[in-house]
A and B are shown apart, each in its own frame.
Chain A
Amino acid sequence: MAETPVAEHRPASAALAEAARVGLIAGALAFPVLALRAEPDFSNRLVLQPRWSWMLGAAVAGFAGRLLLSLLPPRRPKTAQAAQAKRASRRAAQAFAAFGLGLIFIWPLLVLLALGPGGALKWIDNYGVQILIYVMLGWGLNIVVGLAGLLDLGYVAFYAVGAYSYALLATNYGASFWICLPVAGCLAAFWGVLLGFPVLRLRGDYLAIVTLAFGEIIRIVLINFSALTNGDAGIASIPRATFFGLPFVPGPKGFDAFFGLPFSPIHRVVFLYYLILALALVTNLATLRLRRLPIGRAWEALREDEIACRSLGIDTTKTKLTAFALGAMFGGFAGAFFAARQGFVSPSSFNFTESATILAIVVLGGRGSQIGVAAAAIAIVGGSELLRELDFLKHVFGEDFDPTQYRMLLVGLAMVMMMNWRPRGFVSTREPSIFLGARKQIGGDFVKEGRG
């Protein structure tokens, strides 16, 4: 990155004056809100208690924030230097991606070495497996929303179909995870096509409403069809995934005894981590491959202009249905994995919030971008998990302060800021699927978002 001299844009005294002004305004604004607190006294009358330190804190925060902003380099005009910086930042992004992939591969081992089996469990399960499930779901939905441009608000329905397929097949027929996995995917794809047919003629808002309704229908059927699904109580004691037939149980028949290891529940979690990592990578590879095939190009062309597609002899019906089916299939795989990991499924795991989270991941990551979606899944799921670790704030605000109550507020605030800063998500550019000369990124301004 080219360095920018601070003096070039603003003298330090002006920055200080500006920061002082902002600090004063922040303090003044804080006076009625923070500095005065009304408390009932013994005779139940309200008396004002001054909290000058809070007001001072707000003023100092305003001052420091403004000063920091002025010290940051200003936006540079587009020049050759900027282009060079862009190339450098792309190289940095590639290096970062490679580093990230490496980290993802060794993550469980790293945590295990650092924290030991007891402490590592949370970090592999909540931060590893949980995030990777959402990465996979995000990649699956990316086919429908990002590539084909069909706004799907009911994606969680396919996740539910996959989970219940595995749960029912495994508990009723004792089928193994490895047989159920493709079956769950196929069933989800079947339901994807089934959803696809009625919504073929719908676009935009109407499509979103119908897919939303479909997601709810699946959930309500799961609740009410209690003869099959056991209703709200859900299905418990689903057989866990085995290591190619070796269960993760103590005793001579287990995985640990087979490999001569002492029994530890962490082995199962590490195995689950690598299993979902493999499933997610398969999803990613398949999507990247499909994008370069005629079917993938037809999806993207459909997002760009459906009428032009039809004038070129592309059957838009089939194209939409394949997008729905493939997206649903990956959702079904993830669902089967979810059931095998939890050992318990119930309709409450598949409510609209899940669909909204997955869609938020795709939109925040940048529709159509695989790496962006993965980063967004880490940011949203990992970030909201990380906010559970805010106990240190108790030292600042006192023991009565419950930081977990602010968790979703902070997530929401972060998303609003992100969408203001980068309305098209982390990665807004699109990489052409085929090129003649040099591979050039296509700016987000040209890429359409699809109208459903």
Chain B
Amino acid sequence: MLRVERLSMRFGGLLAVDGLSFDVRRGDITALIGPNGAGKTTVFNCITGFYKPTTGRIAMSAEGLADPDAIDALTRSSSRERNGIHLLERMPDHEIARHARVARTFQNIRLFAGMSALENLIVAQHRPLMRASIFSLAGLVGAPSFRAAENAAKQKAGDWLARINLLDRADDPAGALPYGDQRRLEIARAMCADPVLLCLDEPAAGLNPRESADLTALLRMIRDEFGVSLLLIEHDMSVVMEISDHIVVLDYGRKIADGTPAEIRADPSVIAAYLGVPDEEVDAVVQEALS
């Protein structure tokens, strides 16, 4: 559903991402891994519109991988969207979230700390509520249609709070929740924005093994029950190997491997990148890994 092609991002003299291409298939959990500084978060920021890529194309379509010819035709035109295909590099961040329906979480949690957990999930449903409030006029007079929309939003938020076991803390400030709960709340908030692709930046960072297991279950549930595809950056290899259908490995801004967890585990260049061995010793490392 997401096709990244020859994506490059340059910051001054630093080439953070260098000609990266990969696909995210619909219904898959795709993991983006690599050593620190490999450019994973930069790729995320390009996909979600927080950075404008220097070169490259990012095509998103909710209906699964789009026809390459249709993407080319759209690229030649000046528009951002046609027949359900969005060219993300042409869109500002909030439109990517709204129209292309790509939601994300952040490496350093970005909850609205001074708002309650419930409010966080209601803010995420800004678009449908805004539409129901009709330029705030229906909301100001308390029209029944707006009340109904608000109740539906509250229902949905309550449902998500129940799923992440935070129903009893719904009215507490998000900033007062324990770290693991904040991580889950941020994922629930992104889900309330009604995405088709959810991008998670290190969702398991700082979680203990039990919380990691809960997280894995939550991510599986998101994929299976809501049909939302997932793209995640993660350093915790046990989580990555357990839930990913497809792994893309980055090092120094380039893709060094792309495949199923089993393939990645056996890939010598991945092992070399992670262990930091000189090229001439790669063979030795691979031999060791296979034995």
Whether A297 and B116, one on each chain, are in contact in the complex, defined by CB atoms closer than 8 angstroms, is no
Q: Does B113 contact A (CB under 8 A)?
A: yes
Contact with B along A274-301 (1 / 0, CB 8 A): 0000000000001001101111011011
Whole-angstrom distance between the Cβ of B151 and the nearest chain A Cβ: 10
Cβ-closest chain A residue relative to B192? A312
Whether B94 and A295, one on each chain, are in contact in the complex, defined by CB atoms closer than 8 angstroms, is no
Residues from chain A with Cβ under 8 Å of B130 in the complex: 294-295
A295–B150 Cα distance when bound, in Å, is: 13
Residue among B98, B103, B150, B171 making CB contact with A438, cutoff 8 Å: B171
- Listed residue (B50, B97, B167) with the most chain A CB atoms within 10 angstroms of its CB: B97
Binds B, one of A49-57, A95-103, A385-393, A439-447: A439-447
Whether B139 and A311, one on each chain, are in contact in the complex, defined by CB atoms closer than 8 angstroms, is no
Q: Does A93 contact B (CB under 8 A)?
A: no
Residues from chain B with Cβ under 8 Å of A432 in the complex: 115-116, 118-119, 171
A295–B158 Cα distance when bound, in Å, is: 21
Residues from chain B with Cβ under 8 Å of A301 in the complex: 112, 115, 123
Residue among A298, A307, A310 making CB contact with B123, cutoff 8 Å: A298
Whole-angstrom distance between the Cβ of A304 and the nearest chain B Cβ: 4
Binds B, one of A72-80, A253-261, A264-272, A313-321: A313-321
A293–B150 Cα distance when bound, in Å, is: 9
Whole-angstrom distance between the Cβ of A293 and the nearest chain B Cβ: 4
Residue among B114, B127, B170 making CB contact with A437, cutoff 8 Å: B170
Q: Does B111 contact A (CB under 8 A)?
A: yes
Whether B115 and A442, one on each chain, are in contact in the complex, defined by CB atoms closer than 8 angstroms, is yes
A440–B48 Cα distance when bound, in Å, is: 35
Whether A434 and B193, one on each chain, are in contact in the complex, defined by CB atoms closer than 8 angstroms, is no
Q: Which of B45-62 contact A (CB under 8 A)?
A: 48, 50
**Size of chain A's interface in residues, with CB distance under 8 A?**
40
Size class of the B contact interface (CB-based, 8 Å) = 35 or more
Residues from chain B with Cβ under 8 Å of A308 in the complex: 106, 110-112
Whether B118 and A293, one on each chain, are in contact in the complex, defined by CB atoms closer than 8 angstroms, is no
Residue among B110, B150, B167 making CB contact with A307, cutoff 8 Å: B110
Whether A446 and B113, one on each chain, are in contact in the complex, defined by CB atoms closer than 8 angstroms, is yes
Q: Does A433 contact B (CB under 8 A)?
A: yes
Residues from chain A with Cβ under 8 Å of B48 in the complex: 311
Q: Does A2 contact B (CB under 8 A)?
A: no
Residues from chain A with Cβ under 8 Å of B193 in the complex: 312-313
A298–B129 Cα distance when bound, in Å, is: 11
A312–B94 Cα distance when bound, in Å, is: 7
Cβ-closest chain A residue relative to B98? A313
Whether B171 and A435, one on each chain, are in contact in the complex, defined by CB atoms closer than 8 angstroms, is yes
Q: Which of A321-373 contact B (CB under 8 A)?
A: none
Residue among B106, B170, B176 making CB contact with A446, cutoff 8 Å: B176
Residues from chain B with Cβ under 8 Å of A430 in the complex: 114
Whether A436 and B170, one on each chain, are in contact in the complex, defined by CB atoms closer than 8 angstroms, is yes
Q: Does A305 contact B (CB under 8 A)?
A: yes
A407–B114 Cα distance when bound, in Å, is: 38
Q: Does A448 contact B (CB under 8 A)?
A: yes
8 residue pairs bridging A and B, Cβ less than 8 Å apart: A292-B139, A297-B115, A309-B123, A311-B50, A312-B124, A434-B150, A435-B171, A446-B173
Given contacts A436-B118, A440-B171, 20 further A-B contacts (CB under 8 A): A289-B140, A290-B136, A292-B139, A293-B129, A293-B139, A294-B129, A297-B119, A300-B112, A305-B111, A307-B110, A312-B97, A312-B123, A312-B189, A312-B190, A437-B168, A437-B170, A443-B176, A446-B113, A446-B174, A447-B113
- B→A interface (CB under 8 Å): 48, 50, 93-95, 97-98, 103-104, 106, 110-116, 118-119, 122-124, 126-127, 129-130, 133, 136, 139-140, 150, 154, 157-158, 161, 167-168, 170-176, 189-190, 193
